[in-house]
Amino acid sequence: MPREVVTVQVGQCGNQMGSKFWDVLLQEHLTHPEFEEARDALFYRTRDGGYKVPGGDSLCARCVAIDMEEGVLSAMVRGPIGGLFDRTHFVSDVSGAGNNWAVGNIEYGERYLEVISNSVQTMVERCDSIQTFLVMHSLSGGTGSGLGTRVVGMLKDEFPHVFRFCPVVMPSETDNVVTSPYNSCFALKELIEHSDCVIPLDNDSLTAMADRSLKREKGSTDGSRPQDDATVAPTDRAFRVAQPTKNKNLPFDSMNAIVAQMLSNLTCSMRFPGALNMDINEVTTNLVPYPSLLLLTSAIAPLSIGKSTLKGARHTDEIFAECYEGSHQLVRLPDAGKRHTTLACSFIARGADWTIGDISRNVARAKTKLNMIHWNQEGFKTSLCGVSPLGHPHSLLVLSNNCAIGEKVKTMQDKFMTLYRNKSYVHHYSTYIEEKFFDDTMECLSCVVEDYHLLNTSEPPTHVPRTMRDLVAF
Ligand SMILES: Nc1nc2c(ncn2[C@@H]2O[C@H](COP(=O)(O)OP(=O)(O)OP(=O)(O)O)[C@@H](O)[C@H]2O)c(=O)[nH]1
Ligand SMILES: [Mg+2]
């Protein structure tokens, strides 16, 4: 029986990342029609519309899409995989939350939470054994950060047995949202309190990765412009790296393709057979040792989804080594593995000819490379899926609970305090929230920063308790 995953995509960023994720998954399942049952973990069959696949089935994505502006949702259904999305699971308004967390959380939350809850309920009823909600959004804007985190709270109340796993885009150096320090800190507080696991993504890292891929892609072709997505054959589309989105100056399409690759690897073990299976819920159990320390860094290799990397298999050890390099990490934390303590780590490998020996050898190597916390020296969770990703013979996703993420949270806090000390922009929020909420938010994030800092510097005890009596004395 499949253990289903439902995506809940909120705001522009959430829906654009979600669309790319569904595109990659669809191509993977079209490439492997032999795993028909595995497909059911993400898609359901419909007689009413849907995306027609060879063999006669019509598929819909297990997706609830929410945006308080219409544009992105309309573009999704007009796009080449538009048939996958069932509009009855769309919730939208016209004007957006105007980059204000409180408008998204309070105003739209009050107005739309019941409709969203009903939509999720219908989607859950289509599942046999739902396991995970993948809630995707950015932390900087108003809708994704505000309404998105309100939805996470609702999911916790109404579907407490289903894991809430949140890949979210953190504010970046290149951010164009001035109020993002408030939005992102409020949103992060809510995620810490209501989600099971957060995968922070960093647009600075994603931009650098996409730029490298675009350059490599350019170098490997005749230099002509890549075609628009709608005109590219499905299988080519998933391999291709797109042009930068012109009006935003960021190559969102390519950046989202990298995120989609990461999420495809995260879910591959639930969809395809392999020597070492791992469900998403096992990630949370193994990598989150304390409820509020739930921020997992991610790294993938091979990185490029451009055609230039399609040729030739590379050695397993090389792929593992690449994941320790900053240039492969989806959140920028220089030298995190060496300079900071790792609380737990997961290797999610894919490839038809990788062996358990390849994994064991690299786990042994990781023990010498990473600075594992003294109470979790063996804190490695591994999985091996036998079905290769699109366009590569192998790939690896590394998820890590590394104390360096505390520094990232500290930077967000500092930016919040720079505005808040001068009470700048506070009036946009005070119609909806009391000033105490600002203080509570800082207190919650301070605890997380402090806990990561303490663990980062914690030393093994000199006295090792051996008996219960010893332990009490200790
Ligand atoms: N990686 C990535 N980042 C995006 C994308 N779209 C927007 N962003 C980032 O998301 C942040 C802005 O959030 P949006 O998702 O546009 O905002 P929203 O949730 O729609 O909220 P409002 O528009 O304020 O109602 C900025 O940091 C953007 O750089 C995308 O497709 N991919
Ligand atoms: Mg928007």
Find out whether the beta carbon of 12 lies less than 6 Å from any atom of ligand 1. Answer: yes
Could you tell me if the CB of 389 is within 6 A of ligand 1? no
- Ligand 2 centroid distance, CA of 98 (Å): 7
Task: Encode pLDDT of 76-122 as tens digits.
Answer: 999 999 999 999 999 999 999 999 999 999 999 999 999 999 999 99
* For the CA of 11, the nearest ligand: 1
Return the ligand 1 atom nearest residue 250 CA.
29
Q: Flag whether pLDDT at 59 surpasses 80.
A: yes
What DSSP designation does 175 have?
-
Domain 299-405: top CATH class: alpha beta
Distance set, CA 360 to CA 135, 279, 348, 349 (Å): 32, 19, 12, 12
Distance 135 CA to ligand 1 centre (A): 14
Name the residue with the closest Cα to ligand 1, atom 29: 175
Residues with CB under 5 A from ligand 2 (ion): 12, 69, 96
Amino acid in position 363: V
DSSP string spanning 103-155? IIIIIIHHHHHHHHHHHHHHHHHT-SS--EEEEEEESSSSIIIIIHHHHHHHH
Burial code of 389-425, b = ≥16 C-beta within 10 A, e = fewer? bbbbbbbbbbbbbbbbbbbbbbebbebbeebbeeeee
Distance 400 CA to ligand 2 centre (A): 30
140 Cα: distance to centroid of ligand 1 (angstroms): 7
Q: What pLDDT is recorded for position 38?
A: 83
Cα of 433 vs centre of ligand 2, distance in Å, is: 21
CA 436 to chain centre: 30
Check residue 387 and give its pLDDT: 92
Nearest-CA residue for atom 8 of ligand 1: 13
Burial of 276 by CB count in 10 Å (0-12 exposed, 13-18 middle, 19+ buried)? middle
- Whether the CB of 366 sits within 6 Å of ligand 1: no
What residue spans in the chain does CATH classification 3.40.50.1440 cover?
A: 5-276
Residue 458 vs residue 240, higher pLDDT: 458
Q: Which comes out higher in pLDDT, residue 36 or 395?
A: 395
For the CA of 172, the nearest ligand: 1
**Cβ(183) to ligand 1 under 6 A?**
no
pLDDT of residue 65: 98
Distance 243 CA to ligand 2 centre (A): 21
What's the token pair of residue 410?
């500290």
pLDDT at 243: 36
Residues 474 and 465: beta-carbon distance below 8 Å: yes
Estimate the share of the chain in helix, then strand, then coil, as percent rounded to the nearest 5.
50, 15, 30
- Kindly state the tokens that stand for 459: 């030393």
Segment 318-344 mean pLDDT: 89
The whole-number pLDDT of residue 135 equals 98
Residues 98, 96: Cα–Cα separation, whole Å: 6
The whole-number average pLDDT for the span 132-147 is 98
CATH 1.10.287 domain range(s) in the chain: 407-457
The CATH T-level fold of domain 407-457 is Helix Hairpins (1.10.287)
- Please tell me if the CB atom of residue 210 comes closer than 6 angstroms to any atom of ligand 1: no
Averaged pLDDT, 233-258:
60
How many other CB atoms are there within 10 angstroms of residue 322's CB atom? 18
Interatomic CA distance for residues 298 and 294, integer angstroms: 13
3-state secondary structure 326-352: HHHECCCCCCHHHHCEEEEEEEEEEEC
Top-confidence residue, 341 or 390: 341
Q: Which CATH code, of 3.40.50.300, 3.30.1490.100, 3.40.50.1440, 1.20.1560.10, is assigned to 5-276?
A: 3.40.50.1440
- For residue 307, how far is its CA from the centre of ligand 1 (angstroms)? 28
121, 75, 115, 56: which is closest to 91 by C-alpha?
A: 115
Share of the chain above pLDDT 90, in %: 71
Residue 173 pLDDT: 80
Residue 460: pLDDT band (50, 70, 90) is confident
| Ligand 1 near 143 CB (within 6 A) | yes
User: Is any ligand 1 atom within 6 A of the Cβ of residue 142?
Assistant: yes
Question: Does residue 177's CB lie within 6 angstroms of at least one atom of ligand 1?
Answer: yes
Alpha helices (H) in 370-463, listed in sequence order: 405-421, 427-430, 435-457
**CATH 3.30.1330.20 residue spans of the chain:** 299-405
Q: 399 near 370, Cβ under 8 Å?
A: no
* CA 87/CA 160 separation, integer angstroms: 26
Rounded to the nearest whole angstrom, what is the distance from the C-alpha of residue 278 to the centroid of ligand 1?
A: 31
Distance (Å, rounded) from C-alpha 461 to C-alpha 459?
A: 6
Region at 425 (left for phi over 0; alpha for psi -120 to 50; beta for the rest): left
360: tokens are: 């064991």
Q: What is the pLDDT of residue 21?
A: 97
Residue nearest (by alpha carbon) to ligand 1 atom 16: 12
Given a contact cutoff of 8 angstroms between Cβ atoms, the answer to whether 284 and 197 are in contact is yes
